[in-house]
Amino acid sequence: MASAAEGDVGTRTELSGVLLSAFEELSLNKLATSLGASEQALRLIISIFLGYPLALFYRHYLFYKDSYLIHLFHTFTGLSIAYFNFGNQLYHSLLCVLLQFLILRLMGRTVTAVLTTFCFQMAYLLAGYYYTATGNYDIKWTMPHCVLTLKLIGLAVDYFDGGKDQNSLSSEQQRYAIRGVPSLLEVAGFSYFYGAFLVGPQFSMNHYMKLVQGQLTDIPGKIPNSTVPALKRLSLGLVYLVGYTLLSPHITEDYLLTEDYENRPFWLRCMYMLVWGKFVLYKYVTCWLVTEGVCILTGLGFNGFEEKGQAKWDACANMKVWLFETTPRFTGTIASFNINTNAWVARYFFKRLKFLGNKELSQGLSLLFLALWHGLHSGYLVCFQMEFLIVIVERQAANLIRESPVLSTLASIAVLQPMYYLVQQTIHWLFMGYSMTAFCLFTWDKWLKVASAELVQKRLSPSSQHSRAPAPGQRSRRLEDMALAAVPLPPKSSSGAKGETLVGGAEGPVASQGSPLHVALSPL
């Protein structure tokens, strides 16, 4: 009787587990469908916002606790987030973390260890891109893995620097050099920290260890007073999310591929490209502001004090929002966007190429590395190549104005400053739009189609040529049509367009461009 009862209980327990799992899947599917997004996108958004309750738990129950408990908490929560989003494919990150730990222990603080780390981690990431990438944003294991790749390469370099004579290192290298020998649990906690596992930001092993040791607080011996700064970044991220949600049905990259866009007047295509080029970046801004809030809440965002004694919480800031919104120069946008990734490339790649003796070559190789790190699509190479050329032209134009007495005098006229600013912003975001076209459309056939629309004038049939000269009675109607055309339009029916998911469209249902969940999270 006892065995029969136990078997009955076991059957009921198993059945309850199956029903609970089915209920969860059904709920996620229904909710994702109602929001016009894929289930993968919904899981990703839930995981990002889940960082806030996890950070609160850490603040109240684990701050100043034993280090191994904190590492275990970060490892367990990060792995849970990975499994929730990617299932058994979390083994990719586990494998790379474990092998990286073995490389550090077996090869030590050597150049061989650094080169092995760089080659293995980048090769693994590129192989993942090759086998999983599609023509859309992909919600695959490669999305957080690109963030992990930079973390592990930076870890190897800092560990190598830790074995050098301190006097031979720059002040920056001394700050990040790892003197001790990280344990497997420390490497895992650093790699899977829930506030940055999916989309960043980047931070060093030393900074992470300061968090674990309770040093990242503005009140020594107490929990950091970071709730208000964290909520400010979260609120700002939600503002961008709402703005993106309201405008996304009217400003889409899909429209760039339609015949309706090709048939618009040149000035209207430029206007649309200008608006779209600024707007398309809002999805990245939203993502980074929300995750920055999580890092601030845990204390990871603590960055010392200002001269007046006020605490700074920008250690994990990936955006300088005011600079991003107001700068009229391309270099200003670069300085305000994806800050931590750019700082990582400068610290671990660009400055390490100093032996080449050529700054432009080092910059070009750094941008090539960034392009490959994003993926294997040709659009990434074109985007960063255009960025490189535009920055060079912008600097030469600034030097020309500075060295010319006439141009300098004209540029200093206060009354004309608003007009200069408007012209600069127009040129700035127009070229940004064309750079982002290749970045967002990925494949050469798509971005080349948009580029050719500006270079090739379509031949008009006799009937269309006749229609170019409207009768006097039709003129008011044509002017009205042009006024309506000035408003960015959603794409009309495109040939076999499937739409886009949040970060990947190869699997699952199509995500609506107007969905609040349509926030592309692939790192820029």
Q: Do 185 and 75 meet the contact criterion of CB atoms below 8 Å apart?
A: yes
Radius of gyration for the alpha carbons in the chain, expressed in angstroms and rounded: 26
Residues 88/90/96/101 CA torsion (nearest 10 deg) = -100
Q: How far apart are CA 438 and CA 256, in angstroms?
A: 11
What amino acid occupies position 45? I
Q: Which residues contact 22 (CB under 8 A, 6 or more apart)?
A: none
Pseudo-torsion of CA 435, 440, 442, 443, nearest 10°? -80
* Tokens (6 digits) for 402: 């500075």
Give me the catalytic one of 338, 340, 342, 377. Answer: 338
Whether cis (ω within 30° of 0) applies to the bond prior to 201 is yes
Structure tokens at 112: 């061989």
CA–CA separation, 161 and 255 (whole Å): 49
Query: How far, in Å, CA of 333 to CA of 322, rounded?
Result: 10
DSSP string spanning 258-315? SHHHHTS-HHHHHHHHHHHHHHTTHHHHHHHHHHHHHHHHHTTT---B-TTS-B---T
Residue 434's nearest CA partner among 287, 269, 243, 320 is 269
Question: Three-state SS string across 55-99, please?
Answer: HHHHHHHCCCCCHHHHHHHHHHHHHHHHHHHHHHHHHHHHHHHHH
* DSSP state for residue 458 in the 8-state scheme: P
3-state helix, strand, coil in the chain (%, to 5): 70, 0, 30
DSSP string for 153-176: HHHHHHHHHTTS-GGGS-HHHHHH
Which residue's entry shows tokens 């920290």?
193
Both tokens of residue 107? 């090869």
How far is Cα of residue 242 from the mean position of the Cα atoms in its chain? 18
Count the neighbouring beta carbons within 10 Å of the beta carbon of residue 491: 18
167 is catalytic: no
Residue 374 falls in the annotated catalytic set:
yes
Candidate list 74, 92, 207, 374, residue with the active-site label: 374
- Choose among 342, 375, 401: nearest CA to 201: 342
CA atoms within 13 A on the CB side of 107: 18
Hey, is 337 helix, strand or coil? strand
Active-site positions?
338, 374
